[in-house]
């Protein structure tokens, strides 16, 4: 689990490519055909649409509080890691938080279409979803930068989660005739699990004594993947076999589940109030493997923690290998069988106001919270949305997020028979030479669809 932690910490903003978040810049936008994914009571077109397979609604992005510029520096024309001796400890460590997080994932829209009927509006979707999170504690960066400078290091809280599944979704929304202005909607999702991974260091406390280290550790790994088994090796350090990797014979379906979205909107004069709760549900994985260190205490004088110059990979290798010795996972009862995992639910609450002097302009306020344990995140988005012509609409918005502030926008072309939209929920201002965003909050949205 720790094998690539330092690599993740150093390159997370570049290596974790996608975000499962939908396009919130389109929440209040006229004729955005995927508004039902943000609130199942919404409709984005009058009669119906067919999404271009694969690119009906693409989301590329990532979210977190660990930027690429936190770990990479320009020193005398060279790009170096924060561990380089030319970067002071005070400058380097001031960039990191107590927990440094990255959120990533994607929803690939394979087939999506909508149509009027059954007393309202309906959509059908087949999508592939993948999402995950990584969290790295401050003390790990401190140890990498300073070597042994303190007596005690607390590395607890290092964790990674990932989930992948396919979904078949059915959505329906309609107006409530008995209460004019009210519209409700719901989506049911049938889920097919491909895999789930949860790895966490519950405790890793390292205390430097007079002539040795004392380490107390507890780490565990859950892996729900069909036809999987753990690879093991014998450790000369602990004198026992430990989990060294994962072996997958062939890909297979590992579980099934169900999810629901519910939402409503209510128009009152020039105001439109809306609320939705998304991804209420779970997946039951049938083949779950478990490994743990248990509660263990290790006394040793064999540890070496100095990284040094970024061009000295041996320093990173030595540090990694010594940390790995403290969290060698073992397994007695490898297969636990069934295990339920909840989806990451989202609560959206919004209100928008139509400007009376120019009714093609509206202002919106949206609060969105993703519930994901230690990775729970909230954003508040203020937007101005305009549709000056029937074939065009646009949005600009400012976002105040758990991970900072940002700026979003969206352009939406929607003629009869063709729809094209492009936008950014989080606009990045600077790119590395390789085209990688230097910040950890960046998202690009693109889609092509065919309304009818």
Mean pLDDT, residues 276-294: 92
Average pLDDT score, the chain: 85
Query: Which pLDDT belongs to residue 332?
Result: 67
Query: Which one has a higher pLDDT value, 167 or 296?
Result: 167
Q: What contacts 417, CB < 8 A, 6 or more positions away?
A: 450, 451, 452
The reported pLDDT for the residue numbered 62 is 78
Average pLDDT of span 276-280: 96
Higher local confidence (pLDDT), 327 or 97: 97
pLDDT level of residue 321 (50, 70, 90 thresholds): confident
Which region among 26-40, 240-254, 363-377, 415-429 has the lowest average model confidence (pLDDT)? 240-254
Window from 105-119, 148-162, 267-281 with minimum mean pLDDT: 148-162
Residue 449: band (very low, low, confident or very high) from pLDDT cuts 50, 70, 90: very high
pLDDT score for 25: 94
**CATH number, span 5-451:** 2.40.160
Q: Are 396 and 383 in contact (CB under 8 A)?
A: yes
CA–CA distance, 21 with 26 (Å, rounded to integer): 12
Q: Which pLDDT value is given to residue 78? A: 84
- Residue 54 falls in which region: left (phi positive, over 0), alpha (psi -120 to 50) or beta: left
Confidence of residue 308 (pLDDT cuts 50, 70, 90): low
Q: How far is CA 334 from the centre of its chain?
A: 28
Ramachandran category for residue 8: left, alpha or beta (phi over 0 → left; psi -120 to 50 → alpha): alpha
Segment 386-441, tens digit of pLDDT: 999 989 999 999 999 888 888 999 999 999 899 999 999 988 766 666 556 666 77
pLDDT at 12: 34
User: Residue 307: pLDDT band by 50, 70, 90 thresholds?
Assistant: low
Q: What is the 3-state secondary structure (H, E, C) of 382-440?
A: EEEEEEEECCEEEEEEEEEECCEEEEEEEEEEEECCEEEEEEEEECCCCECCCCCECCC
pLDDT digits (tens, 9 = 90+) for 2-52: 333 333 333 333 333 334 457 899 999 989 999 999 999 999 888 999 999
pLDDT at 178 over 80: yes
What local confidence, expressed as pLDDT, does residue 79 receive?
A: 82
Report which of residues 120 and 437 the model is more confident about: 120
User: Which pair of structure tokens corresponds to residue 244?
Assistant: 């060294």
> Collapsing DSSP states into helix, strand and coil, what is residue 294?
coil
Nearest to 174 by CA among 118, 225, 214: 118
Query: DSSP H helical segments within 312-384, as ranges?
Result: 313-324
Q: What is the mean pLDDT of residues 246-275?
A: 92
| pLDDT (tens digit per residue) in 45-89 | 889 999 999 899 987 777 888 888 888 888 888 888 888 888 998
For the chain, give the percent of residues with pLDDT over 70.
Answer: 87
Place of tokens 């004069």: 269
User: Which residues, in sequence order, are CB contacts of 198 under 8 Å at separation 6+?
Assistant: 159, 160, 161, 221, 222, 223
- The conformational region for residue 227 under phi > 0 = left, psi -120 to 50 = alpha, else beta, is left
Asked if 308 contacts 220 with a C-beta cutoff of 8 angstroms, the reply is no
List Cα–Cα distances, 327 to 154, 228, 296, 335, in angstroms.
Answer: 14, 21, 9, 20
Q: Tell me the average pLDDT across 270-290.
A: 94
254 SS3 class = coil
Q: Which of 98, 102, 101 is nearest to 138 (CA)?
A: 98
Q: How far apart are the first and last CA of the chain?
A: 50
pLDDT at 434: 59
Q: What are the phi and psi torsion angles at 433 (to 5°)?
A: -60, -30
User: Is residue 251 pLDDT above 80, yes or no?
Assistant: no
| Tokens describing residue 18 | 């996608």
Give the mean pLDDT of 313-340.
Answer: 74
State the pLDDT at residue 115.
Answer: 96
Pull the structure tokens for residue 373: 């344990």
pLDDT at residue 385, as a whole number: 97
Q: Look at 150-164, 165-179, 282-296, 361-375 and tell me which has the smallest mean pLDDT.
A: 150-164
Cα–Cα distance, 423 to 18 (Å, whole number) = 15
pLDDT at 303: 63
CA–CA gap between residue 200 and residue 182 (Å, rounded):
45
Strand partners for 185: 173, 263
């Amino acid at each position: 689990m720790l094998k690539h932690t330092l690599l993740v910490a150093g390159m997370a903003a570049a290596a974790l490519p996608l975000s499962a978040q939908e396009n919130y810049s389109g929440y209040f936008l006229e004729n955005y055909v995927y508004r039902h994914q943000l609130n199942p009571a919404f409709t984005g077109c009058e009669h119906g649409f067919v999404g271009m397979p694969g690119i009906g609604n693409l989301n590329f992005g990532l979210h977190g509080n660990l930027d690429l510029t936190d770990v990479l520096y320009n020193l005398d024309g060279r790009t170096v890691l924060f561990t380089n001796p030319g970067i002071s400890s005070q400058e380097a460590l001031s960039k990191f938080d107590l927990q440094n997080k990255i959120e990533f994932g994607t929803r690939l829209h394979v087939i999506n279409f909508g149509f009027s009927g059954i007393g309202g509006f309906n959509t059908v979707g087949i999508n592939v979803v993948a999402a995950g999170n990584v969290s790295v504690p401050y003390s790990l960066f401190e140890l990498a930068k300073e070597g042994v400078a303190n007596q005690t290091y607390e590395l607890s809280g290092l964790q990674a989660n990932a989930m992948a599944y396919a979904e078949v979704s059915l959505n329906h929304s309609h107006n409530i005739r008995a209460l004019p202005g009210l519209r409700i909607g719901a989506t049911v999702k049938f889920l097919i699990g491909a895999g789930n991974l949860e790895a966490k260091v519950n405790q890793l406390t390292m205390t430097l004594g007079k002539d040795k280290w004392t380490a107390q550790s507890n780490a565990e790994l859950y892996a729900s993947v069909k036809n999987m088994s753990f690879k093991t090796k014998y450790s000369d350090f602990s004198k026992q076999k430990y989990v060294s990797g994962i072996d997958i014979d062939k890909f297979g379906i590992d579980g099934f589940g169900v999810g629901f979205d519910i939402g409503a909107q209510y128009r009152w004069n020039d105001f439109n109030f809306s609320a939705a709760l998304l991804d209420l549900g779970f997946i039951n994985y049938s083949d779950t493997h478990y490994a743990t260190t248990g509660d263990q205490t290790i006394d040793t004088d064999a540890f070496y923690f100095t990284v040094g110059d970024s061009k000295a990979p041996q320093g990173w290798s030595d540090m990694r290998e010594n940390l790995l010795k403290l969290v060698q996972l073992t397994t007695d009862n490898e297969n636990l069988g069934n295990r339920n995992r909840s989806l990451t639910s989202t609560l959206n609450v919004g209100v928008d106001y139509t400007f009376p002097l120019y009714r093609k302009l509206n202002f919106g306020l949206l609060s969105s919270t993703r519930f994901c344990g230690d990775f729970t995140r909230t954003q508040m988005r203020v937007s101005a949305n305009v549709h000056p012509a029937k074939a065009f609409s646009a949005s600009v918005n400012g976002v105040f997020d758990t991970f900072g502030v940002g700026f979003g926008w969206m352009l939406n072309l929607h003629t009869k028979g063709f729809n094209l939209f492009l936008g950014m929920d989080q606009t990045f201002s600077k790119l590395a030479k390789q085209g990688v965003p230097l910040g950890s909050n960046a998202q690009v949205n693109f889609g092509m669809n065919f309304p009818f």
